[in-house]
Every structure is written in structure tokens, then in C-alpha cells.
Amino acid sequence: MSTTAAHSGKTLRAGVIGLGWAGQQHMEAYSTLPGVELVAIAGMEDEPRAALGEKYGLTRLYRDWKELVADGDLDVVSVAVPTFLHAPIAVGALEAGIHVLSEKPIARTASEAQAMVDAAHASGRVLEVAFNHRRRGDIEALKKAIDDGTIGRPYHGRAVWLRRSGIPALGSWFTNREMAGGGPLIDIGVHVLDYALFLFGEPKVIAVSAVTHSELGTRGRGGAVADKVNVGSAYEVEDLASLLLRLEGGGSLVLETSWAAYRPAGDEFGITIYGTEGGADLRVVDYAPAGELTLFTGDGEASSDIRVAADPGRGHNAVVETFLEHVADEGNWSQYDGSLALDRARIIDAAYESATRGAEVRLDAEPGHEADSTSNTVTASKGV
């Protein structure tokens, strides 16, 4: 790995804001990768903060993220907190001259995401967002098959992440519209959107038509009641969303995501792709390290199905490693400004607007000139 240490002899000093599962993935990566040292963490939960501080031998433990940033001398920081805090923390860290790796989604709305990108430009620092699913071994194997021309040109796909009973926690910030920005579409659906567009070669999305439904969470079904993270919120977001994306050049993608639906038990995510010379199907059940990947090739009766074995991939370790490589690439920091995640946020904004209006929404406006996206967040309705 090429890190700043390799270029300057300096070991990067890292901090992590957020003590939950995602934050701990970043802590583990910073504590094991070369060229970087985990030196500080911040989070409001006293017992987990103390336990993680002991685990990693840290003395700089903060309750308030602002104190972590203000204490100075950090080179990089990971932001792994509820979505409504992504923008203020990232902007604050960037303005302090710290490179930022944020958990997904980048923010609640495209306008917040734009503020983060603008802060990266103004500070001349790196801003990236952790899309760890594209770093799965099966996704990477499928991407290689597509790039090698095995299935020709992909022209249509159906990508999903579906749960039967997987609302993160009823009454928590996840189910609060103002704090989360939406339900499964912005939470797990953003991963589906990211890996689907990644596999298709990053085509421009020109229009979105979407529907959202909130049938189960509003009746207390589909998830356990929150304990320590309970903010007393009613269920204000969708529990299922379905999107049709029209792509530049005539391609199309259907995305479907749910926290709760009457379907087979467990989690399932994956993608089916139709190409001009073949097809592909990837299915991952209950977070299996490697999913079932099949390529469909041939012509007519001579067709054949090819099962592809894939390595598990490295998840957050790979995400953090790439982030550090980009920090090391000092002459090109302006290229790593969060724009890809901003693009995802614009698409999700358009999807929520489409669901609210009951009409297709086009994304033809120039970046930075979209209408105010505040009204695009979903309301707790029975669908549109």
C-alpha cells in the first residue's frame, strides 16, 4: 500500500467519531494498516468509549466530537455517526484541515452533501464516503467479468437489498425523518445504488421514477423497539422503496429495498444484469462472505451457465486503505472530493421527490443548480 508514510516518512494520526459497529470497523483498520496510527476516538456513550479506549490503548477519549477536532494534530478522521451529524462534523473537520472518511450515506440531502464537497474544495483536503459493498470479492469478480466483455454491454439490471424484519430499531434515529433523511432507501439502498452504478460503469442517471411504502413500521412491525438509542420517534420513514432509473444511452436499472416486508426470512442483497452477449446473477443471503455468482453465456441452445467462485473481499479495510492512498496522493487531493457520493445523494433526493409527487423526476440540471432538496425527504405515507 502506498501511504503518506511512504512518501514523507510521517505516520498519519487518525481519529474516529462514532462508537458503533461502523466506527469500530474504522478503528480496527487504522490500528492494523501500515502508515497510520489510531490516536483518538469520540462518542457519547461512556462505557463503550472507555472499553474501546482500553482495547486500543488510547488516552484521547472525547464525548464531544468538537473537542477531538479542536485538539489538533489529526491528519485523518472517520465519521461514523447518525446521518444528520455527517455534514456538520465533516465540514468542521475539513475546515480544521483534516481529511475525512464518512460512513454512507454522505448526508441526508444533496444540499448537505454539496456543502461537504464545497468544504473539501475550500480546505484542499480529501473527502470520501465508505461504500464497502463494492469492495466485496463477489462484486469485484462480477465487475471484472463485465469489464472483460463476458456478458457484452449491460443494458438492464435489477438490484435489491431486502429484509423481512430488519428495521434497525423502532423509535430510534433511524426511523426519524429529520435525523435519518429517509428509511431503507437512504440507509441500505444507497449501497445497492452504488454497486449497481459501479457495475454498469458509472452511467449518468437521467431520470428516476419511484414509489415508497410505509405499511409495517407504522404498526410496530418489522423491528425491535430501540433501547439506549431510543429518541422516542414515531415511525416517519418508508419501509419499502422501488425505483426505476433511466440511464444515459438507453440503459435501465430497477432498485428495490426494504427494511420490512412479508417475504422469506433474513437479509438478501444482490443484482441481476442483462447484457447483449450474456447475463449475470449475484445473490448474497444473510451477509455470507461470498455470494452465489452465476454468469449466463452462449447462444440459444448452446448457452451455458458459469458459476464463479469469489474471495470474500476486505470490506472496510479496503475502503480505509484506499482512503489513505488518496491522502498520500497529495498532488491530486482535489480529485477525491466526495463527488461520487454527492451524485448518489442527488439520485436519492430525486427518488423521494418522485415518490412524493407520483411522477418521474429528471436529473438534467447542472450540478449545484438543483431545487432545494429539503422537501424531497419522504413522509410516512402508505406509498404514492
Predicted TM-score (pTM) of the model is 0.91
Mean pLDDT in residue range 305-312: 93
State whether residue 264 is helix, strand or coil.
Answer: coil
- Total domain count, the chain: 2
Asked whether the predicted pLDDT for residue 370 surpasses 70, the reply is no
Asked if residue 382 is part of any domain, the answer here is: no
Q: Residues 176, 102: one domain?
A: no
Q: What angle do CA 101, 102, 106 make, to 5 degrees?
A: 135
Asked if residue 328 is part of any domain, the answer here is: yes
Domain housing 61: 4-131+316-333
Asked whether the predicted pLDDT for residue 1 surpasses 50, the reply is no
Asked if residue 341 is part of any domain, the answer here is: no
Asked whether the predicted pLDDT for residue 2 surpasses 70, the reply is no
The residues, any chain, with a CB within 8 Å of residue 161's CB and separated by 6 or more, are: 184, 188, 189, 191, 192, 257, 258, 267, 268, 269
What confidence category does residue 298 fall into, taking pLDDT thresholds of 50, 70 and 90? confident
Please state, for a pLDDT cut of 70, what percent of the chain lies above it: 92
Q: Residues 119, 177: one domain?
A: no
Distance from C-alpha of 210 to C-alpha of 200, rounded to nearest angstrom: 20
Q: What is the pLDDT of residues 348-357, one digit of tens each?
A: 999 999 999 9
Which range, of 70-74, 120-124, 199-203, 205-209, averages the lowest pLDDT? 70-74
Q: Residues 274, 200: one domain?
A: yes
Asked whether the predicted pLDDT for residue 258 surpasses 60, the reply is yes
Asked if residue 381 is part of any domain, the answer here is: no
Joined together, the cell numbers standing for residue 233 give 420517534
Looking at the DSSP bridge assignments, the partners of residue 128 are: 101
Asked whether the predicted pLDDT for residue 365 surpasses 60, the reply is no
Q: Residues 45, 188: one domain?
A: no
Q: Residues 111, 237: one domain?
A: no
Q: What is the pLDDT of residues 30-49, one digit of tens each?
A: 999 999 999 999 999 999 99
Asked whether the predicted pLDDT for residue 273 surpasses 80, the reply is yes
Q: Are 35 and 66 in contact (CB under 8 A)?
A: no
Looking at the DSSP bridge assignments, the partners of residue 172 are: 230
Asked if residue 338 is part of any domain, the answer here is: no
Q: Residues 89, 237: one domain?
A: no
**pLDDT number for residue 324:** 98
Return the DSSP state at 80: -
The residues, any chain, with a CB within 8 Å of residue 41's CB and separated by 6 or more, are: 15, 16, 17, 19, 23, 27, 49, 52, 53, 56, 58, 60, 61, 62, 68
Asked whether the predicted pLDDT for residue 80 surpasses 70, the reply is yes
Q: Residues 329, 363: one domain?
A: no
Q: Residues 181, 246: one domain?
A: yes
Asked if residue 372 is part of any domain, the answer here is: yes
Asked if residue 383 is part of any domain, the answer here is: no
Q: Is the peptide bond before 312 cis (omega within 30 degrees of 0)?
A: no
**pLDDT number for residue 8:** 53
Q: Residues 185, 119: one domain?
A: no
Asked whether the predicted pLDDT for residue 381 surpasses 80, the reply is no
Q: Residues 51, 97: one domain?
A: yes
Phi first, then psi, for residue 127 (nearest 5°) are -130, 120
Q: Residues 219, 167: one domain?
A: yes
**CA torsion angle for 328, 34, 21, 117 (degrees, to 10)?**
0
Distance from C-alpha of 329 to C-alpha of 128, rounded to nearest angstrom: 14
Asked if residue 246 is part of any domain, the answer here is: yes
99: CATH:
3.40.50.720
Joined together, the cell numbers standing for residue 55 give 482495547
289: CATH:
3.30.360.10
Mean pLDDT in residue range 146-160: 97
Q: Residues 162, 105: one domain?
A: no
